[in-house]
Structure 1
Amino acid sequence: MLRNPIGLSYAVVALLAATAVTDVALFAAALDVRLLMSGGLKDHPDPAGFAHLGLDVATVVQVLSQLALGVVFIVWFFRVRKNAGVFAPDGHRGGPGWAVGAWFVPVANLWWPRTVAAGTWRASRRGAYGDGAGKGESLALLNWWWAFWILTSLAGYFAGAVYDDADTVEEFAAGAGFLMGASVVDIVAAVLAILFVRRLTSMQHHKATGMIPAAQ
C-alpha cells in the first residue's frame, strides 16, 4: 500500500535546515575560540569563559537538532522504502525493516543504508521497475549525499576528539579550526540531503500518480 511521504519530507527538510543553522552557530563559536587563542578577543570581560561557553551551547543545540532529525529522517526513509516495495517488489536487498535497522548495525551502517537508498531510488524511477531513468534520476545525487554523510560523520568525530583532548593554547586553536571545518562539511551534507529528500519524494509522488489515475 502506497503512503504519501510528502508531509514527512517537509519535516525532514525543515530539520535539515535547522541543523545547518546550528552548524553556522557552531562555526561562529569555534571561530571565537580560535580568535581567543590568537589574542583576538582581549576586549571581552571574560574571553575564555565566553568563547568556551558559546561553543558548548552550540554543540548541545546541534546534538538535539540532529537527534530530532535522525528520528524523523528514519521514519521518512522507512516510508519511501515501503513505497518502493510496491513499485518493485523484487527489486531490493532485504525487507523494508532494513530502512531502520541498517543505521544501527556497526560497520555495516557505513554502506548498508546507502544500499537501501539505491534500491529505493531505482524503484522510484519511471518505468515499471525503475527502468528508463530520465534526467535527474541517476544515482549521482544519492552518491554525493552519502559520500558527504560519511565524511561529515568522520570529520565531526575527529574534530570533537581533538578539541576535547586539547590542553594547550595551540591545541585548542587547532581543535577549534577542525570544528570549523567539520561545520562547513556538515552544511554541505545537509544541503545535499535536502536535495536528495526532495528529489526522491518527488519521484515517488510522480510515479504514484502515474500508477493511480484517481490520484491525479
Structure 2
Amino acid sequence: MTHPSLPKRPMLGRLPVLRSPIGLAHAVTALLAFMIVADVLGFGAAAYMMSVMGDVASGGGAGDVGLGAVDRAVWAVGMTTSMYMLGLLGTATLFIIWFHRVRHNAEVFAPDVQRRTPGWAIGGWFIPFANLFIPRGIAKDVLRASQPDPYASEVRHQGLLNAWWGMWIASNIFDRFATNRYDEASDPQAIHDAAGWLMTGSVLDLVSAVLALLFVRGLTAAQNDKAMAGRQPLRQPAPQYPAAGGPVTGGGPVPGA
C-alpha cells in the first residue's frame, strides 16, 4: 500500500545579516575630506584667475600683466578642476557602495519600513531626474530603520539629510552653470566674471561635502550603536509553509540583528 508523500518544504532564501559599514564609512570620510581640500584649492585658483583677468581687463591687455601670470592662472584652474573630478569619481563610487551597505543593514533592523529593495540603493543614482528623489527616500527609510525605535513618528538626523540633499542638488546645478559660463568666456572681462561664479560653486561644493561627511558619520554611528545594543527587528513575517509536525506559528530571530 502506498502512502501519499508529505508536501515538500520550499527552500528559504538566505536571511540577511548585518555587515559593518564602519570601514567603508572611514574611506568615504577620507575622500570627502579630499573633496573639501579640492574645493578650497579650486576657490583659490578661481580667485587668482579673477584677480589676473581683472588686471588684464583694466590694463588693456595681457602684456601689461605678464603672460606668465595668465599661464599660471590657467594652469591652476585646470589642475584643481582635474583634482576635483578625480576625487569626485572615487568619492561617488565608494559612497554608493557604503549606501548599499547601510541599506542592506536596514533590511535586518526593520525590513517593513523600507519602501524600496536594496538594489535601488545603487540603481536609483543612475536614473535621470528620478535620482533627485529616489536616493533621498531610501536614505530616510534607512535612517528610520537605524534608530532605536523604527516606528517612532520622528526620524533622527532627518534635518541633516534634508540640508545635505538640498545643498547637493543646488551645488550640482550651480556647478554646471558656472562651468558653462567659464568655458564660454572669450574675453578678459567675461573670464573675470566667470571666475567669480566658479568661486561661488566651490563654496557650495564645500558645504555639500561637509554635510555629506556628517551624514555618513551620523548614520554609520547609528547603525553601529543599534548593532552593539543587540536589538532585534521588532516585526518579522512568519515563514508561509506547513511544517511536518503542524503549522508554523512564528519566525525566529534574524541572525546578526
One of 144, 152, 156 as aligned partner of 1:122: 144
1:131 aligns to 2:147 (yes or no): no
**Does the 8 Å contact 2:55/2:65 carry over to 1?**
no
Q: Gapped runs of 5+ residues in structure 1? A: none
Q: CA deviation at 1:14?
A: 0.5
Number of the residue aligned with 2:200: 181
Q: CA deviation at 1:211?
A: 2.3
Q: CA–CA distance in 1 between the matches of 2:127 and 2:85?
A: 21
Q: CA deviation at 1:138?
A: 4.0
Q: CA–CA distance in 2 between the matches of 1:196 and 1:160?
A: 27
Q: CA–CA distance in 2 between the matches of 1:133 and 1:204?
A: 17
1:191 aligns to 2:210 (yes or no): yes
1:59 aligns to 2:81 (yes or no): yes
Q: Secondary structure at the match of 2:111?
A: coil
1:172 aligns to 2:191 (yes or no): yes
1:151 aligns to 2:167 (yes or no): no
**Percent identical residues:** 42
Q: CA–CA distance in 2 between the matches of 1:107 and 1:133?
A: 28
1:21 aligns to 2:37 (yes or no): yes
Q: CA deviation at 1:43?
A: 6.0
Matched to 2:21, the amino acid is P
User: 1:198-209, aligned counterparts within 5 Å?
Assistant: 198-209=217-228
Q: CA–CA distance in 2 between the matches of 1:56 and 1:121?
A: 39
Q: CA deviation at 1:92?
A: 1.4
RMSD: 1.9
Q: CA–CA distance in 1 between the matches of 2:220 and 2:147?
A: 11
One of 93, 101, 107 as aligned partner of 2:123: 101
| More off after superposition, 60-69 vs 87-96 | 87-96
Q: CA–CA distance in 1 between the matches of 2:219 and 2:28?
A: 13
TM-score, reference length from structure 1? 0.92
Bigger helix share: 1
**Does the 8 Å contact 1:126/1:133 carry over to 2?**
no
Provide, for residues 36-61 of structure 1, a one-character-per-residue CA deviation record: whole Å limited to 9, x for no partner.
Answer: 11118966561211101110011001
1:81 aligns to 2:103 (yes or no): yes
Provide, for residues 20-79 of structure 1, a one-character-per-residue CA deviation record: whole Å limited to 9, x for no partner.
Answer: 100111111111110011118966561211101110011001000010000110000000
TM-score, reference length from structure 2? 0.78
Q: Secondary structure at the match of 2:74?
A: helix
Number of the residue aligned with 1:3: 19
Greater C-alpha radius of gyration: 2
Provide, for residues 178-203 of structure 1, a one-character-per-residue CA deviation record: whole Å limited to 9, x for no partner.
Answer: 10000001111111111100000011
**Does the 8 Å contact 1:126/1:132 carry over to 2?**
no
Cα 1:58–1:29, aligned 2, differ >3 Å: closer, same or farther? same
Cα 1:185–1:29, aligned 2, differ >3 Å: closer, same or farther? same
Q: How many pairs does the alignment contain?
A: 211
Matched to 2:142, the amino acid is T
